[in-house]
Structure 1
Amino acid sequence: MTDSNKKPQEPASRIVTPTSSRREFLKSAGLFTGTAALLGGGLELLSRHPGASAESAVPGSPIVQAKRPLGPYDTSEPVTPYEQATTYNNYYEFGTDKADPARMAGTLHTRPWTIKIDGEVKKPQTVDIDTLQSWFPLEDRIYRMRCVEGWSMVMPWLGFPLGSLIRRLEPTSKAKYVQFTALLDPKQFPGQRADVLNWPYVEGLRLDEALHPLAFMAVGLNGRILPGQNGAPLRLVVPWKYGFKGIKAIVRITLTAKQPQTTWSLAAPDEYGFYANVNPKVDHPRWSQATERRIGELSRRPTLPFNGYAKEVASLYSGMDLRKFF
């Protein structure tokens, strides 16, 4: 979504949607043999961005630095610096401190990685992450991100629409919801050795929410392969909802007829609802949601309904009591 009342600003770095074939790029770069086996999926993502180098095929390393015009789903607000976006995170699988994810992310190995797709779909399957991301042209999206705790960022993601994946799977007529499950592995996720939450982390959307054009599956961040602390190798991004809906390290996607249980709703149902739409008029029981602090700024700003995406998504909740369905 482009802000009509603000002059578009170009962030310092951009992610470029691929314009040439992966194989031809690899041939021209002299990387198709040997290096491909060494770099694995990182090279697969890299190879879809002409002009990048082999050194970029490391999670968290640049894919390509270039500029592009703002797209129809972008905000024109200044992008949160990469260093802040990758060092101030909630990711309890690594620990409960904001610095834990960046400090501990090296324990996570994102290749090999498979995603099981099942439930109410005509094409259930298990697919590896590189095959899955090769099914779709990768897109850039610059989204606001609002944490339920009252802080926010502006994040430039690389990925593909969740709706494109769901339609490819061909949901049955019984499918009403989509459930996402994250990796359960205490060896890679030291935070899972504690009972802070009921592991593995699970989240869910209504099917119409999942099919909305703004719902996004991210594999990159700010011109770089998605870092471990930000959800590598695959995470959900739903910009009109609070950030805890954005499940990371996804290993299973299940379409269901019934509303799935979700981790934070199970942990504290009076504080974290299934819908979790950003709403300045519905406070958290322990703090106000009327304002937020953008990371990198000292002052607070008003929180926007649906995080500024009301025009696009408010119709999804027509007739619902948004104070009840928080």
Structure 2
Amino acid sequence: MTPTKDAQPIRLTAHQLQPSIKTGGSKNKGSKEHSSNTKQQLPTVESLLSDSATLQVLLEYYPNFRKLGTVFRTPHSKGVNIFRHKGIYLVKDFTGKEFGEGALNVLQVIQCYHGCDFQEALAFLAAKLGHTSSGGASAPPRWPVPRPTVPAGTEKEREQVLVNVQQWERVMQDPRSNFHRYALSLGVTEEHLNKWHVGTDTRGNTVFGHRDTAGAFVNLKHFAYQPSGSRDKSKKPFYLKNPACKKYGQCLYGIHLLREGVPMVLVEAEKTAGLASFFTRSTTSSPRRGLFPKRAEVEGAAGQVGLCAGRRR
């Protein structure tokens, strides 16, 4: 079941939940008009979403579901979860590959997979739960269909986006992380850390800004450090969370400082790149997993220093 490109699932708030259709006032309770209005009345959106039978509707879209709160796979994602929140079943895709970020209720799932509007989704769900749409007609036949198999190598590439300038500046202007304190205690200057785009997020994690050779803000990588300068390995490093149907890019950390005639050094981590480049007076350095500096060599009369990288044994 493939969501259409133009489908925009609606995030419902309390004031957006539509009430049931009110019947017209009639003094004659036995009149035909009153009988007709009674047939048109549908349950409220709240009652439809809180109906326990909506789980069975969701299973038509997610046949691999086994248990509430347990992650399962779909053809496009390895991390989908169905859970119940405040009496309503919600679907969450942790990878963003199935339908993007955020949790969807059953009405939003129907909109996403069928490309229909809110009223059509509402009528469809009401019919699935044993009700009929306005006027007594059955809901539009928008039954879920299996997703076609996507041949390897033909998947559509997601649009790449850059880090918001305000977000980048806000992070880079904060020098209060444990790594900042540790680096400054070693004699590293604030100017050097700024040049290497070392910042702090709102949780106190150290943030290394990845900027490409064109100067574009590519990504922000977050690390937790202890006051001693060692990594807090109880917390995993992470990049920015990708927006729905889009992604942030990646590049070698420090590559924005690359210039002709200066040795480029491959090291293991952003921390190593930032510190080693200061103490060896090397102006460029880039991290790469599996590599670390083994020795320093002075090259030329200008005293430029480059670190020779060797493989970890």
Task: Give the TM bin, normalised by the shorter chain.
Answer: under 0.3
Q: TM-score, normalised by structure 1?
A: 0.17
The structure that has the greater radius of gyration is 2
By relative contact order (CA 8 Å, sep 6+), the higher-ranking structure is: 1
